[in-house]
Amino acid sequence: MKTSFRFPAQTPEQAADWIEIFLLIRIPKKFDLDPHEDIQVLVPMYRGAAGVDALNLRLQGALNPKSIHKNEKKMYNTIFREGDKIMQIRNDYEKKVFNGDIGRIEEISKREQTFLINYEGNKITYNWSEADQFVLAYAISIHKSQGSEFPAVVIPILTEHYMMLQRNLLYTAVTRAKQLCVLVSNKRALQIAVSTETVSKRFTGLRWRLEDLIGKAPQKLVKDLPIMQDFIANKDQIELNGLSLKKVKKSEPKNPRKPRTK
């Protein structure tokens, strides 16, 4: 059974304070969950004091602070440290790691100029030049979390996130939790998210591409496409007209001539 809590936060700074307390003290103590392995912070936006970027820096300092016993390397304006939680952000079929995979930096070799990252037992070596394939993942965007589940999630929902506050986004975040969901929000921001149902239309050009492909294809090939089965099953006339594809009914002549009688 999933447990849910909401804690009030009027400012991004207050929300960030709460999130750090939850990850370091409250959730591990009450629910016996590991802050690295079991708890994920999900955020609507990257910018701001309670955005993905700022929270990653803050939580890295709290959960994996700088130490003489840990190697670290600054790459692409980010300091990566042994023990850091990271996320792969693109598919790499050669390494067999994929967009959204989360792991831990096990070793940074300054001699070999490599990172060794452990993805739940699958250990992958990256050259330093490949460090643009992963990012810190103490906090990740709600969008990036789609398709994943975590024992516990902590979600800041604030008015500074107003551009992204939508019901479907909130639903996505809350349903990532398997055991515990903690909302850090104020009532106004939560009301905006719950009451906003607007979903942006996506203009992919897919329909145009399909119609263009069908329009240029031989008629025999077009008839074999699954999309044409309804047309064929109903024995309607098929008309290929430039970039469009439509059903055309057989029409009767307007003034049919009567057969002459002898």
Give the tens place of pLDDT for each residue, 167-181.
888 999 999 999 999
Q: What are phi and psi of 23, to 5 degrees?
A: -70, -35
List the structure tokens of 104.
């831990």
Q: How far is CA 15 from CA 8, 11, 58, 147, in A?
A: 8, 6, 12, 26
Reduced to 3 states (helix: H, G, I; strand: E, B; else coil), residue 24 is helix
Q: 74 - beta bridge partners? A: 79
Tokens 């399909």 found at: 210
Q: 244 - beta bridge partners? A: 241
Spatial separation of the C-alpha atoms in residues 138 and 102, rounded to whole Å: 10
Q: What is the mean pLDDT of residues 75-89?
A: 95
DSSP string, 6-68: EEE-SSHHHHHHHHHHIIIIIHHHHH---TTTTEEEEES-SSSTTSHHHHHHHHHHHHS---T
Length of the chain: 262
Spatial separation of the C-alpha atoms in residues 64 and 61, rounded to whole Å: 6
- pLDDT-based confidence at residue 196 (cuts at 50, 70, 90): confident
User: Among residues of the chain, what percentage have pLDDT more than 70?
Assistant: 76
pLDDT at residue 224, as a whole number:
57
- pLDDT-based confidence at residue 245 (cuts at 50, 70, 90): very low
pLDDT at residue 209, as a whole number:
73
Tokens 């070793």 found at: 107
Task: Tally Cβ neighbours within 10 Å of residue 151.
Answer: 16
Q: Is 259 exposed, middle or buried (0-12, 13-18, 19+ CB in 10 A)?
A: exposed
Farthest-apart Cα atoms in the chain, separation: 113
List the structure tokens of 235.
């024995």
- pLDDT-based confidence at residue 189 (cuts at 50, 70, 90): confident
List the structure tokens of 153.
């999630």
Q: What is the mean pLDDT of residues 84-109?
A: 96
Spatial separation of the C-alpha atoms in residues 222 and 214, rounded to whole Å: 6
Q: How close are the terminal C-alpha atoms of the chain, in Å?
A: 88
List the structure tokens of 202.
């996506």
List the structure tokens of 85.
């939680």
